[in-house]
């Protein structure tokens, strides 16, 4: 059992996105510090639903809809998210051969005005104008929606000039088919290059979607500090590490890390599995599910705007939803952090870390 008094009273979680301002002197006054909330930077650029509701600091990812999750289980998970107050939903053109978008559109249709819908285009990494327009037209048809709040480039392309990709997205935004442009799986330099090009096109990159969890912490080196400094919203995916951080693999159960070669390679290092086992032990000491601690740990990072939760069924989703009302005291956050290596700084000067 946890020591008495280690958890503050449950209730509304402190807004992890508020950023303090710093006074600067001399010439640095020419560059004002970013003091805005990434979700509500200004009224015209706020991430909100069609009826003006701000996006929740939790997002649900529908990657499993119509695949590992049946239509019935998908409906149960959608309902559980809505009951928990989540209004931010993420999908992609490539997910489950289109069933993810189709099912999300079916569930969301009657309350579309209240929701923030994000999808991703051009997973083929071509990112050409034709590829973007074709996939996004298909996405809108599947969703049954004329527009979405966020359209991400699913990943970087070495084939198509970024200018072509962003010009296409800028035109979609001008046409009212998307409200915000996002980038997924971009490195920090790629994000800043995209921002520079976007500004020349009189548009902007609003939100990033990096991978981030207890055993995948590379985002701490440059992506998250950059996002906090420059005012990008961050929807962090895979907070459970493909299920590794639920503790199920240590218990001998199966899942994507066993069934999917890509996930198996991503989480192959033995130290990651040791960290997952240690997290399960720590969670047990506190009477909590490992998934609850894993998700709460990601959410605690003040550069993360919204962790993207996901699951195969409503029972599997419940521990992640429980993180929404679990504040992490500093000593527990630090204990979790110590279970995996902190990545070295971008300069690689360990003596200054």
Active site residues: 95
Residue 44 DSSP one-character state = G
Residue 287 DSSP one-character state = T
User: Which two three-digit tokens encode residue 339?
Assistant: 């279970």
Say how many C-beta atoms besides its own lie within 10 A of residue 318's C-beta: 16
Cα torsion 122, 197, 236, 243 to 10°: value is 40
Contacts 24+ apart (CB under 8 A), 52-55: 53/87, 53/114, 55/87, 55/88, 55/116, 55/149, 55/306
Q: Determine the Cα–Cα distance for residues 213 and 101; give it in Å rounded to an integer.
A: 25
User: Which two three-digit tokens encode residue 194?
Assistant: 């995209």
User: Which two three-digit tokens encode residue 59?
Assistant: 């997002």
């Amino acid at each position: 059992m946890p020591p008495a008094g280690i958890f503050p009273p449950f209730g509304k979680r402190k807004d992890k996105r508020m950023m303090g301002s710093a006074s600067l002197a001399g010439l640095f006054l020419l560059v004002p510090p970013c003091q805005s909330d990434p979700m509500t930077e200004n009224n015209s650029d706020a991430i909100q639903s069609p009826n003006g509701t701000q996006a929740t600091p939790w997002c649900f990812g529908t990657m499993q809809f119509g695949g590992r999750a049946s239509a019935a289980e998908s409906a149960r998970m959608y309902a559980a998210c809505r009951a928990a107050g989540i209004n931010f939903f993420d999908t992609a053109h490539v997910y489950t051969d289109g069933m993810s978008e189709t099912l999300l559109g079916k569930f969301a249709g009657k309350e579309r005005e209240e929701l923030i819908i994000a999808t991703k285009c051009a997973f083929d990494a071509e990112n050409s104008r034709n590829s973007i327009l074709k996939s996004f037209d298909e996405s809108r048809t599947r969703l049954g929606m004329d527009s979405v709040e966020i359209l991400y480039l699913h990943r970087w392309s070495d084939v198509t000039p970024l200018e072509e990709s962003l010009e296409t997205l800028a035109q979609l935004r001008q046409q009212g088919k998307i409200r915000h442009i996002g980038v997924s799986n971009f490195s920090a330099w790629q994000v800043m290059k995209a921002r520079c090009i976007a500004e020349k096109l009189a548009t902007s990159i609003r939100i990033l979607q990096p991978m981030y969890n207890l055993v995948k912490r590379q985002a701490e080196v440059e992506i998250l500090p950059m996002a906090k400094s420059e005012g990008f919203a961050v929807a962090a995916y895979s907070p459970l590490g493909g299920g590794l951080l639920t503790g199920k693999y240590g218990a001998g159960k199966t899942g994507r890390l066993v069934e999917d070669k890509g996930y198996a390679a991503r989480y192959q290092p033995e130290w990651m599995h040791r960290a997952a086992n240690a997290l399960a032990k720590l969670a047990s000491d506190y009477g909590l599910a490992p998934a609850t601690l894993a998700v709460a740990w990601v959410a605690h990072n003040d550069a993360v705007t919204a962790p993207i939760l996901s699951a195969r069924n409503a029972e599997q989703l419940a521990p992640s939803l429980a993180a929404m009302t679990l504040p992490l005291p500093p000593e527990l956050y630090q204990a979790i952090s110590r279970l995996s290596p902190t990545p070295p700084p971008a300069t690689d000067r360990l003596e200054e870390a």
